Amino acid sequence: MLHTSFHLALTVGRTATPEAVQFWILAPLAVIAALGILVVKKAVHSALLLAWVMVTLAIFYIAEDALFLGIVQIIVYTGAVMMLFLFILMLVGVDSSESLVENLKGQRIPSIVAAIGLGGLMLSLLGRATLPAPSVGLQTANAGGNVQGIAKSLFTQYVWAFEVVSALLITAALGAMVLAHSQKVRSPYAQRDLSIARFRKSSLGDAAGLPASGVFAGRNAVDVPALLPDGSPAPTSVSQTLRSRGDIITSAPFALEAIEEQED
């Protein structure tokens, strides 16, 4: 059954109508998206456009009878690599745009040279592709089925390269982990330690948790200190972070005297 889809494939060099339709719809979209990667301001948008380009590429691969390659392209690049990229970018925040300050000095000339070189390479490839040179090998490679063909060449002819690349990747992953690892000075306080500490303090005032913020019926947001029975604000009822940021509303209007005055 593996052969059926390949019997349907037309002779190399001619493009079937559905394939042409698919190409002329997806190719412009892919090119626009690729240009968009450079133009858009937010890094996440670039990443999304890149993901789109990868998916269209995968569809092209599938249309060209490289079914396995297309699917794996989506799983590995779109699903895993791009997702990790997004992961990092997302932590930067929604409203942050890319900074345009150059950090690397003198990078312009080498990068322009590299860009011209890459462009030349692409042009020469394009030139080769448009020449009416017969492409050979696809049908023979897919003769025993696409997956089987890839498995065969990967585990016979290219097994050495395959193993070397995987060893390299594992080394890189291990290296990254070692570099990112930091030795902890002490083990972090777990729930248990904190609980014990709460009960061993000089006062048991907050053993059952710190007082909740806010003044009921007045204002019960997190930025208003609660009032103690004598009408004075309870400092422990608001977060330390908010206090140091100065985001706390004074509880003076909610103090006992103030309320009594209002009522009078």
By the rule CB under 8 A, 2 interacts with another protein: yes
By the rule CB under 8 A, 80 interacts with another protein: yes
* CA-based nearest residue to 60, from 116, 109, 15: 15
Question: How many other C-beta atoms lie within 10 A of the C-beta of residue 186?
Answer: 5
Which of 81-89, 114-122, 165-173, 223-231 is the region at the interface with another protein (rule: CB under 8 A)?
A: 81-89
Query: 């929604």: which residue's tokens?
Result: 94
- Rounded Cα distance between 32 and 38, Å, is 10
By the rule CB under 8 A, 155 interacts with another protein: no
By the rule CB under 8 A, 45 interacts with another protein: yes
Query: 């042009």: which residue's tokens?
Result: 123
By the rule CB under 8 A, 140 interacts with another protein: no
| Closest distance of CB 90 from another protein, Å | 5
Strand partners, 227: 233
Cβ contacts of 77 within 8 Å, gap of 6 or more: 54
Query: Among the residues of the chain, which ranges form H helices?
Result: 4-8, 17-39, 43-63, 67-72, 82-90, 108-130, 138-141, 146-155, 159-180, 191-199, 240-245, 256-263
By the rule CB under 8 A, 193 interacts with another protein: yes
By the rule CB under 8 A, 211 interacts with another protein: no
By the rule CB under 8 A, 68 interacts with another protein: yes
By the rule CB under 8 A, 231 interacts with another protein: no
- Rounded Cα distance between 26 and 41, Å, is 24
Q: Which of 57, 74, 226, 248 forms a contact with another protein (CB under 8 A)?
A: 74
Which of 80-88, 175-183, 211-219, 221-229 is the region at the interface with another protein (rule: CB under 8 A)?
A: 80-88
**Phi, psi at residue 203, to the nearest 5°?**
-115, 145
Interface positions with another protein (CB under 8 A): 1-2, 4-5, 8, 42, 44-45, 48, 51, 55, 58, 67-68, 71-72, 74-75, 78-80, 83, 86-87, 90-91, 94-95, 145-147, 189, 193-194, 196-202, 204, 206-207, 210, 235-236, 240, 243
